[in-house]
Amino acid sequence: MTVDFLYWVGMAAVAVSALAGVMEARRKEVDLIGATFVAVATALGGGTIRDLLLNRNVFWIADQTYLLTAVLCGGAAFFILRRRDIPARWLLVPDAVGLALFTVLGTQAALQWHAPWLAASLLGVITGVFGGVLRDVLCNEVPLVMRAGELYATAAWLGALLVIGAQASGMDAMSASTLSMIAILAIRLAAIRYHWTLPAFPGNP
């Protein structure tokens, strides 16, 4: 049951991250191929880095359904959004959902691979944020995780630690994963709404 749950969470994460990628590509006025490429990079990038670091089969090569989902969702989103003006901040919502889903998936994958708790939490963060890093780099933007702004990687790391701690205290993996996804999403959306930030270097005078 837990395996099936995480599998479908993974599919949902790929779909919503592909949408976030196309929304950013839309602002850069790229064509269908470019938008689909950004969608695929956004949806699959973080999990790819995680699997390479864990020395395990890359998930979208082992199961091409993930790749197909990213391509189809990216292509569909291109035609849906092609004639619509999308406010820049709308991108933050699907990005936050993808961050929550992928962080938990990455953490669970690392735990299943018997990674130590700290390494597992950081692999969860990498899974959650790196697709967005690729998206922003491809679209010639400073990655969200590097900007002085609302909590991003911090929300992911707190959620990763939460799922590890919840399971260590006896909670089953599905419940711990669900709790952590809700927590990450809530923290990220609250940070956007109320402008929660970490200390940053001051700007140039």
pLDDT tens digits along 88-144: 778 889 999 999 999 999 999 999 999 999 999 999 999 999 999 999 999 999 998
Q: Please write the tens of the pLDDT for every residue from 173-191.
A: 999 999 999 999 999 999 9
Q: Residue 205: its pLDDT value, please?
A: 54
For the cut 70, the answer to whether the pLDDT of residue 171 exceeds it is: yes
Q: Please write the tens of the pLDDT for every residue from 66-85.
A: 999 999 999 999 999 988 77
Whether 150 contacts 197, CB under 8 Å: yes
Q: Residue 202: its pLDDT value, please?
A: 81
Q: How many CA atoms are closer than 13 Å to the CA of 106, on its beta-carbon side?
A: 39
Q: Please write the tens of the pLDDT for every residue from 24-57.
A: 999 898 999 999 999 999 999 999 999 999 999 9
Whether 26 contacts 115, CB under 8 Å: no
Tell me what the mean pLDDT of segment 161-166 comes to: 98
Q: How many CA atoms are closer than 13 Å to the CA of 92, on its beta-carbon side?
A: 17
The structure's pTM equals: 0.93
Q: How confident is the model at residue 1 (pLDDT cuts 50, 70, 90)?
A: low
CA distances from 111 to 141, 185, 199 (A): 33, 21, 31
